[in-house]
Structure 1
Amino acid sequence: MTALPDVVLRDVTLRDGLQLTGKTLDAGDRARLARTLLALGIPELEIGSMARPDLVPPMAGSLDVVAALTPDELDRCWIWVATPRHVEKAAAAGARNFQYCFSVSDAHNKANIGRLTDDSLAALPEAVAHARAVGGRVQLTLATAFTCPFDGPVDPARVLDIVGDPRTDGTCDVVLADTLGQAAPGQVADLFTAVRPVAGDRRLGFHGHDTWGQGVANSLAAAAAGAVVVDGALGGLGGCPFAPGASGNTATEDLLFATRPSYLTPDVLARVVTAGEHLLAELGEPSRSRTAQGVHSEAQAFPWVMR
């Protein structure tokens, strides 16, 4: 099987993955999991959110996670922000990679962030300026790039308008999110193909949910159309608390097995699966990963089976 060496997996367990869990993890446990995943070779992580903890309780203590990690570790980690003030506060704790997120649809942006899409876009240059002041970088992340839980299908032209808006200048990446997991591979390929020339030299990323079972297929379609980063969470944990119908992320284990990055060996995959199983057991959550099931197969001749 030919690997996809240019595809970078970003594990989002510690942010998107934990948002809807009934139980919470303290900052120390979250920092330890981050170190485990980084040591296993996962290139990038999403480690927390500046969302209000009264609205998203599992994200409380995200700045403590940032403070617990070394600068070298933080070079590979991202924190979710939605305002310039979020960037200031996270930067003061040591963060340098900021995932500035807002929704393409006004209705979801109002529900998720409390403002219209254009208001979030208007504040982006100030967020970039704050990040640059500490040598950091800002990623443009567009939620509901395919469908909105309130308004339905999203016009691709609206996505292109935002990506090409001069107010997004200075962002390092463009991430398109299938927030509801309702997109199909053809749609994903078409949108990334259209966005690629508009994005210029910015990296493209795909954040897909697996609600309709298309998470891996959509991620591979995005990669084939120009995305170099794909997001996943251990066991397929996660979902948006402000998007009715959004279920878990595409499973990290499944994306690793599908893309076969150079650092992935049967032992590394087994360790990732084990880390996910321990986390899910602690949280009382089920695993949605097919790969995590597959490694326990009795087909002992297959090298990817755990022994």
Structure 2
Amino acid sequence: MTTPSTGEVSVRDVALRDGLQLTDGRLGTGSKVELVRTLLRLGVPELEVGSMARPDLVPALADTLEVIGALDEDERDRCWVWVATPGHVRRAADAGVRRFQYCLSVTDQHNRANIGRDAETSMAALPQAVEAAAAVGGTVQVCLATTFTCPLTGPVDPDRVLELIADPRGAGTVDVVLADTLGQAHPRQVGELVSSAIGPADGRRVVFHGHDTWGMGVANSLAAVAAGAGMIDSALGGLGGCPFAPGASGNTATEDVLFALRPDWLGPENFHELVRVGDRMLAELGERSRSRASAGAHGNGREYDWTLPAT
């Protein structure tokens, strides 16, 4: 998959999947497609744009396949869709999806609440998901939710996480996503787990998916990069949360992660446009921004290039 260079680490915006799960407002399909195209044009390398979860459970994502259908092949090649079963993969593949994020939770309790089965059942089906994706020239990343703490059982044993990463049934996946679902991890903890995951990942890219519940989102993301993560997940405006993780706040804001990482493609002008795009999305949803970098961009200090110019 070819994406714009961001140096050693890529940033994926997940506002159109994880970000929309708990919002009361809705984005229209046209607005989603426009947002995808704008973010890709600005240089955001990869996006998560929807989910194959049941529409009655996550109505905000019910039009995922319509969004995919409106994109061209190059755009779809940079867009991931959440799946949890081989059947999800086959249905999404028929609609043109080629990047599949196969998700399960490290703990059985959260996996049952989120997906309706235990973690072993999800792992047992993973090879079929990889096979279904390969049949259409697609790729699968395995996403491990609750890698640090579980809302139902508490702290998670890192050895259990590493065991799942090393599981041979994950052969053929291209990435391993470590999700701090509750946003309770701290930088040292993130760095240690990411560093420990590099070996069992066996050449697969390690991705960190953080939430900002305790204000550690950017710090954790930087710790993950320092430890060897190849991609960081974030969401415009800090949107997001898990329906089965009470108390977890939104994802780490894309504006904040990009402002901290300063990839080669990001300069003040397209950062300004990114902030404005986030503002428009949040206004349509009736949500407030949780991004500190966006707040800074809207502030005073016009002598600073990254502050929005006066209108």
Shorter-chain-normalised TM-score: which range? over 0.9
Q: Specify the alignment match of 1:226 in structure 2.
A: 228
**1:183 — aligned with what?**
185
Q: 1:284: which partner in 2? A: 286
Where does 1:57-206 land on structure 2 (aligned, <5 Å)?
Answer: 57-206=59-208
Q: How high is the TM-score relative to the length of structure 2? A: 0.97
Q: Following superposition, which runs of at least 4 residues in structure 1 exceed 2 angstroms of deviation?
A: none
5+ long unaligned stretches in structure 2: 1-5
8 A Cα contact 2:26 2:284, kept in partner: no
The AA in structure 2 aligned to 1:111 is A
Report the residue type matching 1:291 in the other structure. A
Partner Cα distance (1:134, 1:153) in 2:
38
Residue 78 of structure 1 aligns with an amino acid whose one-letter code is: W
Give 2:259's aligned residue.
257
Q: Which residue of the partner structure matches residue 308 of structure 2?
A: 306
> For structure 1, which runs of at least 5 residues remain unmatched after alignment?
none
Q: Distance in 2 between matches of 1:130 and 1:74?
A: 17
How far off its partner does 1:120 sit?
Answer: 0.3
Distance (whole Å) between structure 2 residues aligned to residue 25 and residue 285 of structure 1: 12
The CA deviation at 1:243 is 1.2
Q: What whole-Å deviation, never above 9, does each CA across 1:164-216 have from its counterpart, x for those lacking one?
A: 01100100000100000000000000101111111011001000000110000
Please tell me whether the aligned partners of residues 149 and 155 of structure 2 are also in contact (alpha carbons under 8 angstroms): yes
Please give the secondary structure, in 2, of the residue aligned with 1:279: helix
Mapped partners of 2:284, 2:7: distance in 1:
33
1:26 to partner: Cα distance: 2.1
User: Which has the larger displacement, 145-154 or 236-245?
Assistant: 236-245
Look up the equivalent residue of 1:52 and give its one-letter code.
R
2:296 matches 1:294: yes
- The letter of the residue matching 1:176 is L
Deviation at residue 32 of structure 1 after TM alignment: 1.0
d(CA) in 2 for partners of 1:276 and 1:220?
22
Q: Which amino acid aligns with 1:128?
A: V
Partner of 1:31: 33
The one-letter code sitting in structure 2 at the alignment partner of 1:255 is V
Aligned identity (percent) is 62
Q: Tell me the equivalent position of 1:14.
A: 16
Q: Give the AA of the match of 2:220.
A: N
Distance 1:194 1:18 in 2: 31
User: Structure 1 length as normaliser, TM-score?
Assistant: 0.98
